[in-house]
Amino acid sequence: MRNMGTSPVAIWRGLRLSEHILTGMVLTVLLNREETQRRAGRQFPTVIQWWHRRLCKILGIELEITGDMTDGQALLVANHVSWIDIPIIGAVTNTTFLSKSEVRKWPLIGWLAGSAGTLFISRGNGATSELAVKMSQTISGKERPVLVFPEGTTTDGTEVKRFFPRLFSVATDAGIPVQPIAIRYTCEGHLDTRAAYIDDDSFPVHLAQTLKRKPSHKVQITFCEPIQPDGQSRKELAEITRERIVEALEAA
């Protein structure tokens, strides 16, 4: 954040971001209390969505939405460009995220993510089957979709890498529809590769750059038509879903 002080916009957004994170901490503590949780009922997901939506506004991100999210149970699948993908999707959907287990250990962020209901995936024998059960229970029991980034990494937005089929087992085993979501970052109408968080990027540096961005920074979110897993294998379903996302990105 070396150059952050030279930008009044970055300073103002940074102060608002600090206040917003503090607000999230306070809300998490209050809503996680058993008594308050009973009174809140179904409002907790609404609060989480509000928090994501406000974060996007603080970061100066304008959302442009195409298509509609399916009602009821679904496995949401999106291409992955940046850590910003999470508040973006969280701002427009009431969903549960799937994240790598390392995130659970991150200071503050891991605690907030776990309190918001994030599912964590770990490596090792039996991890995939156990995860599929948790995802299925979340989708069926809470009637909330689960969102995954099956590329397993981020890109600069110019490509969509191969999808790992194992994350699609919850759809093929339980017959749950898959809805592809295409995420495209733009600046002044053109693809914006600077928004990507890839390779050896430093989170503090990337955050500082994001805080300094102009208001012309937009994100296009395209909800594609849901895909019914009618007898397809995990690999086939992964390939079809990836093709839908690529088509949507090219159309955008």
What is the mean predicted confidence (pLDDT) over 91-103? 83
**pLDDT above 90 for 15:** yes
Do the beta carbons of residue 219 and residue 63 sit within 8 Å? yes
Find residue 186's DSSP bridge partners. Answer: 191, 218
Q: Which of 40 and 97 is assigned the larger pLDDT? A: 97
What pLDDT, on the 0 to 100 scale, is given for residue 41? 45
Comparing CA positions, the residue from 37, 38, 45 lying closest to residue 144 is 45
Domains and CATH numbers, the chain: 4-251 (3.40.1010.10)
**pLDDT above 90 for 139:** no
What is the mean predicted confidence (pLDDT) over 61-79? 91
- Which ranges in 69-164 belong to alpha helices (H)? 85-92, 109-115, 127-141
What is the mean predicted confidence (pLDDT) over 53-70? 93
Cβ-in-10-Å burial (0-12, 13-18, 19+) of 103 comes to middle
**pLDDT above 70 for 118:** yes
| pTM given for the model | 0.86
Mean pLDDT of the chain: 84
Task: Express each pLDDT in 190-226 by its tens digit.
Answer: 899 988 998 778 888 888 888 888 766 799 999 999 9
**pLDDT above 60 for 150:** yes
Q: What is d(CA 40, CA 154) in angstroms, rounded to the nearest whole number?
A: 35
